[in-house]
């Protein structure tokens, strides 16, 4: 396993991070325990979860993923062996009425309520990395393009959110803070307030990044490198699309898009053609397409960790093993050629 510094901290996290959002929906608690046990034997020390999970979000499974992780931490006694990350949700009254009655904002009341509930579910006294799952303000995330400013939007000020997080760091409940689904402007504003007000500095940005969506490179990659605020890449396989298993209108049983067909972000005609080309490139070089896609993400200079997810042990083993794959110059050139033909089909 390879390890990298988490931002400006002294913490070293595994380049492969175990994502857990399937726990409680596609995976039972026993399967979650098996995944966690195996990941640690392979050197993974970084676990990512969120109060929102399991996915897709619904009242019946809200917080269940954290509960499974907490039960494993209690049973295994491995809390000191892992870097534990979780998240607080942003506004979402229209689609998340089951979370704090749909009145979530990134203010003191909501952040403290969310954190305390997460600590209880996770059966721990502190979170190593506490992340804002998405911005409080109206901006572009979850694949939205064409930013339109809303003059009626009244978000919680970033400085106010940061002050609350700072108080929780001082209280010992959080070690470090991170962002998710953020923009370059948002990330730099958090960093600016931290410097000017002596508040905690964000150490990571958890955003989507894969061969079908390299939009992070446009602005945030430079921020990550210059500000030591690295990417935690989620959806590195584009909901599993880059494995090639959905090509030809296939619907493999138990796969995410087979179960949840509304998850179409990586399923456009352009994305399918790009995926076909990437799969063919991998096959030409004797590579597993999913491992090639993950290895590409693993090797990015602005990356801190790649968040993988799996619903069975074969997937998990293969995904973790991607850390041992170094892509040749010829393969990398082939990837760039495909990207030139099909740039970011799934932003």
In this prediction, residue 141 carries a pLDDT of 92
Instruction: Tell me if residue 2 falls in helix, strand or coil.
Output: coil
Q: Where are the beta strands (DSSP E) in the chain?
A: 3-5, 12-14, 16-19, 46-48, 83-88, 127-132, 174-180, 202-208, 230-234, 303-308
Q: Catalytic residue positions?
A: 53
Q: How many CA atoms lie within 13 A of 56 on its CB side?
A: 9
How far is CA 228 from each of CA 137, 190, 204, 236, 315, rounded to the nearest angstrom? 24, 13, 8, 21, 31
Residue appearing with tokens 């921020």: 223
Range of the domain at 146: 3-243+296-326
Look-up: residue for tokens 């988490």? 6
Give the three-class secondary structure for 262.
coil
Q: Has residue 280 been placed in a domain?
A: no
In this predicted structure, what is the pLDDT of residue 71? Answer: 98
Q: What gap in Å lies between CA 58 and CA 327, rounded to an integer?
A: 39
> Is 176 among the domain residues?
yes
**Per this entry, what is the length of the chain?**
347
Count the neighbouring beta carbons within 10 Å of the beta carbon of residue 49: 27
181, part of any domain: yes
For the domain that residue 46 is a member of, what is the CATH number?
3.20.20.100
Give pLDDT, residue 294. 98
- Neighbouring residues of 9: CB distance < 8 A, sequence distance ≥ 6: 175, 176, 203
**How many domains is the chain built from?**
1
Going by C-alpha positions, the residue among 214, 116, 226 that lies closest to residue 174 is 116
User: What pLDDT score does 67 carry?
Assistant: 98
Residue 289 lies in a domain: no
Q: What DSSP state is assigned to residue 344?
A: -
Let me know: does 90 contact 134? Beta carbons within 8 Å: yes
In a domain, 41, yes or no: yes
223 within a domain of the structure (yes/no)? yes
| End-to-end CA, the chain | 30
Which tokens hold the place of 293?
A: 């896609």
Alpha helices in 148-183 (DSSP H): 158-170
List average pLDDT for each run of 10 residues in the chain, which is 347 residues long: 98 98 98 98 98 97 98 98 98 90 96 98 98 96 91 94 98 98 98 97 98 97 98 98 92 88 92 98 98 98 98 98 98 98 96
Q: Are the C-beta atoms of residues 62 and 52 closer than 8 Å to each other?
A: yes
**Residue 266 lies inside a defined structural domain of this protein:** no
Three-class SS of residue 241?
A: helix
CB–CB of 83/46 below 8 Å? yes
CA distance 330 to 56: 38
Query: What are the structure tokens assigned to 291, written together?
Result: 């491992």
Residue spans of beta strands (DSSP E) within 49-173? 83-88, 127-132
Q: Does residue 342 belong to any structural domain of this protein?
A: no
């Amino acid at each position: 396993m390879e390890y990298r510094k988490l931002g400006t901290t002294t913490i070293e996290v595994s380049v492969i991070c175990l994502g857990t959002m399937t726990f409680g929906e596609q995976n039972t608690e026993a399967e979650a325990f098996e995944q966690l046990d195996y990941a640690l034997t392979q050197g993974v020390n970084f676990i990512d979860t969120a109060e929102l999970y399991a996915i897709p979000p619904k009242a019946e499974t809200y917080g269940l993923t954290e509960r499974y992780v907490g039960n494993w931490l209690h049973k295994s006694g491995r809390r000191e062996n892992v870097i534990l990350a979780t998240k607080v949700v942003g506004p979402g009254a229209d689609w998340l009425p089951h979370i704090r009655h749909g009145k979530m904002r990134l203010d003191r009341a909501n952040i403290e309520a969310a954190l305390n509930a997460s600590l209880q579910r996770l059966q721990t006294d502190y979170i190593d990395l506490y992340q804002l799952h998405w911005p409080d303000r109206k901006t572009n995330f979850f694949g939205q393009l064409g930013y339109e400013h809303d003059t009626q939007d009244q978000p919680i000020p970033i400085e106010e959110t940061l002050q609350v997080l700072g108080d929780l760091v001082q209280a010992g409940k959080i070690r470090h803070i991170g962002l998710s689904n953020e923009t370059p402007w948002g990330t730099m504003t958090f960093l600016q307030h931290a410097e000017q007000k002596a508040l905690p500095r964000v150490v990571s940005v958890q955003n989507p990044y894969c061969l079908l969506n390299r939009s992070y490179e446009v602005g945030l990659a430079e921020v990550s490198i210059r500000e030591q605020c690295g990417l935690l890449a989620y959806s590195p396989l584009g909901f599993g699309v880059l494995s090639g298993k959905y090509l030809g209108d296939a619907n493999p049983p138990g796969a995410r898009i087979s179960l949840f067909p509304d998850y179409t972000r990586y399923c456009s005609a352009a994305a399918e053609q790009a995926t076909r080309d990437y799969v063919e490139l991998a096959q030409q070089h004797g590579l597993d397409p999913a491992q090639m896609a993950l290895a590409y993400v693993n090797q990015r200079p602005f990356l801190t960790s790649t968040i993988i997810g799996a619903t069975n042990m074969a997937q998990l083993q293969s995904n973790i093993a991607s850390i041992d794959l170094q892509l040749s110059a010829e393969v990398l050139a082939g990837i760039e050629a495909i990207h030139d033909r099909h740039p970011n089909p799934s932003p």
